[in-house]
Amino acid sequence: MRAMITMIRKALLPLLSAGALLTATVGLATAGDAQDQMVEKAKITVDTLAGQSDMAQFRKLLAVSKGVVVFPQVLKAGFFVGGAGGSGVLLGKDAAGNWSSPAFYTMGQGSIGLQFGAEAKELVLVIMTEKGLQAMIDNKVKLGGDLSAAVGPVGTTIGAASSTNINVDVFSFANSKGLFIGASVEGSILAPKDDWNDAYYGKPTTTQAIVINRTAVNPQADGLRAALRAAEAK
């Protein structure tokens, strides 16, 4: 009887191994699809904001920025006590003006105050300082705490030359849908999604390696980088 069980195990082992490999491959493909979709949605968000007539300051600030975080969708809802959350991508820009590949991030926010309804918004954080970019790369950061943050100066006049002297680490620009009173990003906490980065680049990596050292590259993000360059040129 014991010999028969051993024979059955030996016969089934190749099938079990193949099944495990197939399951792992499907899991990786699903994860990769999720990251690909996020990057494509981020490209659409950049195109949408850059194409709006009242986003001239977004385009000017982007041209002299150090980096950007794009959230294709931030969901926010509440009745006096609210919260927000979403996933997005961080890209850095080097001295020559070249954008890095994306690193994946998550954002969470809790708030108390006068707020009604629900909101889904596309959100872009334009990083204006080296300090701001490095802080996001180094660890989890809180906007308005670790870094100064302000709502993007839509409707005001800020020239590209003077924008480098603004004493703000991060400007936020949003394309909102629905109703929500109180759209500031202050209090939001940003943190890297290391497992998404590993899945997207097919190897263990870090935000530093992706955004600064640029040792991790995925051609699938070329469209997003091109959209950022096009937005700067408008």
| Residue carrying the six token digits 């680490």 | 169
Band of the pLDDT at 9, cuts 50, 70, 90? very low
Q: Domain residues for 122? A: 41-233
Within-domain flag for 3: no
Within-domain flag for 131: yes
Within-domain flag for 47: yes
Strand order in the sheet with 170-178: 141-142, 189-192, 103-112, 81-92, 67-79, 118-127, 170-178, 149-151
Nearest to 149 by CA among 127, 125, 170, 118: 170
pLDDT at 115 (0 to 100): 45
Instruction: Encode pLDDT of 79-116 as tens digits.
Output: 444 456 789 999 999 999 999 999 999 987 655 444 44
Give this prediction's pTM: 0.75
Within-domain flag for 170: yes
For 181, what's the count of Cα atoms within 13 Å in the CB-facing half-sphere? Answer: 9
- Residue with the larger pLDDT of the pair 67 and 136: 67
Nearest to 68 by CA among 127, 122, 121: 127
Query: In this model, does residue 22 exceed pLDDT 90?
Result: no
Band of the pLDDT at 6, cuts 50, 70, 90? very low
Query: In this model, does residue 158 exceed pLDDT 70?
Result: no
Query: In this model, does residue 187 exceed pLDDT 60?
Result: yes
- Residue with the larger pLDDT of the pair 121 and 110: 121
Name the token pair of 97.
Answer: 């003006």
Within-domain flag for 31: no
Band of the pLDDT at 233, cuts 50, 70, 90? confident
Cα gap 80→71, rounded to integer Å: 24
- Residue with the larger pLDDT of the pair 52 and 220: 220
- Residue with the larger pLDDT of the pair 111 and 209: 209
The average pLDDT across 45-64 equals: 90
pLDDT at 186 (0 to 100): 66
Query: In this model, does residue 152 exceed pLDDT 50?
Result: yes
Within-domain flag for 65: yes
Within-domain flag for 6: no
Within-domain flag for 200: yes
Q: How many residues belong to the chain?
A: 234
pLDDT over 70 percentage in the chain: 65
Question: How many domains are contained in the chain?
Answer: 1
Nearest to 197 by CA among 27, 39, 22: 39
The average pLDDT across 138-167 equals: 63
